[in-house]
Structure 1
């Protein structure tokens, strides 16, 4: 099965992804800025050993928010794919305990477009802001009240959990409303997903291509840095591949822009020539 678990957190801006990552790790490795613009701007990965497993959590910005442009998303999606290559063992779809609106549905649809709907078979729905869950109600009952949530959780194999990043940190009175209990349950669910997939992970052509590039880069680094540890080699390789891919993406955009500029320039030139020919024709007709 291996001892490594790569876990990607996905969700709209403000859902509580960074806080959830800190709650899972039990320490603040992911920065939370308590301001109006506190959302994560860049994809970030941190690794920690939990229950004998090396857990890598990959926190992402609100990739699929309707207000984010494709150009804003491209580098961070690339960074996310590079961090989780050759593929994540689990996706955590992070939602608040609140009404499941068309906005949330659109975010889920965008996720499936990016990773394919097969990714949901590797996914867990994790709700934050557990203090909003009505008393004496479990998250499964809450989900059952919404057709949209029911359908999403069903596609995720019926897997859902809940935490509260603020009020459930030290709750000894109610085991269910305790982050310690919920995180333990979530980690069990993650292990079950890995076992069900025989230690495998979600992957696709993009992730496989990135992994080949990373492995090639690792070999180059290994040959030039004989004393470097494998973990450091891997990290350096991912950084190099990301930079190369990001530069290639920028060059592609520049080439496209330049091509458009050339076309526009040619069109302007042709227009000017036609205008001058018309003027010349008019002037000639006037003199004759």
Structure 2
């Protein structure tokens, strides 16, 4: 059976701040892959559960979720994966920052986090610093925070809760207990206990998390009817796994549809550009009216942008391919379309990750 008092803890922060390493430090073993090269395309939210000092903890790592430059549209698939892993909602948010100058970029990440989760998340939030070896000897994190107005305001919003770790240098026994990860882990666990008490064991939630929990429970019921010998913990894990698989499968189908749609539209526009077709010959009801013949004649890519703006933004056809299409004649039109299809196939093979098809 699932442990009833398991704490669900979500790690938030910019890529490179040490979220995965922090979780590994708290677990005392390597559970999350540490991405030293900051390859965001290969990162997905993951959850791991372990019993630490008598407490059952589930950490949900969210690599690069709120990184600067990442659009709301880019965030949607990864946020959905995060919601699946932490439904019906996290008990604690760990806002992970490096010991470094608190710039406008870091502030923008914090702002985006709470714009998404709302101010209610502050009741469950703790600020955790990594790279603790960067603070001067004998200085504690509270003093460091007090030197920056931005950090001070953030920690005050989190009701003064902040801790510091060093995932590289504070591993062994230290003469200074404060500069010991073992000491800091116990302090953080005590803070988590305090948050649980102050919120009477409740967790943060919102409409998206509630909707996801309903979907998981429906899947649990389906599994329960077909596999009566499974424990509740096994049923829960299977339900989450099934929903993630559905998400992955839908991503693959979406990718294929976009690829085919892009090739078809570009091929049609090439035919119009080459004078092989006219607008009235194009069988695209409801779409032809929105595109002028001038736009098609000027640039086939404009048609792609008009018809599928998200696809055009996500799949940047190289200039050499577009040139093949733009100058296509009756004899070379087929070659141009084939070039596009080959490019799309190569792109798919190089970029598709079964664990993250939305990259």
* TM-score, normalising length: structure 1: 0.85
Following superposition of structure 1 onto structure 2, how do residues 54-69 of structure 1 map, counting pairs within 5 Å?
54-69=56-71
The 3-state SS of whatever aligns with 2:179 is coil
Compared CA separation, residues 196 and 71, structure 1 to 2 (3 A): same
Following superposition of structure 1 onto structure 2, how do residues 1-288 of structure 1 map, counting pairs within 5 Å?
2-35=4-37, 37=39, 41-244=43-246, 264-268=287-291
Report how far residue 65 of structure 1 moved. Answer: 1.1
Preserved contact between residue 14 and residue 39 of structure 1 (Cα < 8 Å): no
Q: Take 1:83 and 1:235, find their aligned partners in 2: how far apart are those partners?
A: 10
The 3-state SS of whatever aligns with 2:177 is coil
Preserved contact between residue 16 and residue 38 of structure 2 (Cα < 8 Å): no
> Gaps (5+ residues) in structure 1?
273-288
Preserved contact between residue 40 and residue 60 of structure 1 (Cα < 8 Å): no
Q: Take 2:254 and 2:37, find their aligned partners in 1: how far apart are those partners?
A: 36
Preserved contact between residue 78 and residue 246 of structure 1 (Cα < 8 Å): no
- State the superposition RMSD in angstroms: 2.8
Report how far residue 264 of structure 1 moved. Answer: 4.4
Preserved contact between residue 217 and residue 237 of structure 1 (Cα < 8 Å): yes
Report how far residue 135 of structure 1 moved. Answer: 1.0
CA-to-aligned-CA distance 1:227-275 (integer Å, 9 cap, x gap): 22222210111122334456678989979xx8xx865432237879xxx
CA-to-aligned-CA distance 1:194-223 (integer Å, 9 cap, x gap): 011111000111111111111111010011
Report how far residue 35 of structure 1 moved. Answer: 3.5
Q: Take 2:240 and 2:197, find their aligned partners in 1: how far apart are those partners?
A: 27
Preserved contact between residue 22 and residue 28 of structure 1 (Cα < 8 Å): yes
Q: Take 1:199 and 1:144, find their aligned partners in 2: how far apart are those partners?
A: 30
Moved more, 200-209 or 226-235: 226-235
Q: Take 1:157 and 1:39, find their aligned partners in 2: how far apart are those partners?
A: 35
The 3-state SS of whatever aligns with 1:66 is coil
Q: Take 2:202 and 2:42, find their aligned partners in 1: how far apart are those partners?
A: 29
Moved more, 70-79 or 144-153: 70-79
> Gaps (5+ residues) in structure 2?
262-283, 296-359
* TM-score, normalising length: structure 2: 0.69
Q: Which residue does the alignment assign to 1:284?
A: none
Preserved contact between residue 18 and residue 40 of structure 1 (Cα < 8 Å): no
Preserved contact between residue 11 and residue 95 of structure 1 (Cα < 8 Å): yes
Preserved contact between residue 168 and residue 179 of structure 1 (Cα < 8 Å): yes
CA-to-aligned-CA distance 1:25-52 (integer Å, 9 cap, x gap): 0001111244353897110110001122
Q: Which runs of 4+ in 1 moved over 6 A?
A: 246-255, 269-272
Q: Take 1:247 and 1:39, find their aligned partners in 2: how far apart are those partners?
A: 18
Q: Take 1:210 and 1:157, find their aligned partners in 2: how far apart are those partners?
A: 29
The 3-state SS of whatever aligns with 2:7 is strand
Q: How many residues align?
A: 270
Q: Larger relative contact order (C-alpha < 8 A, sep ≥ 6)?
A: 1
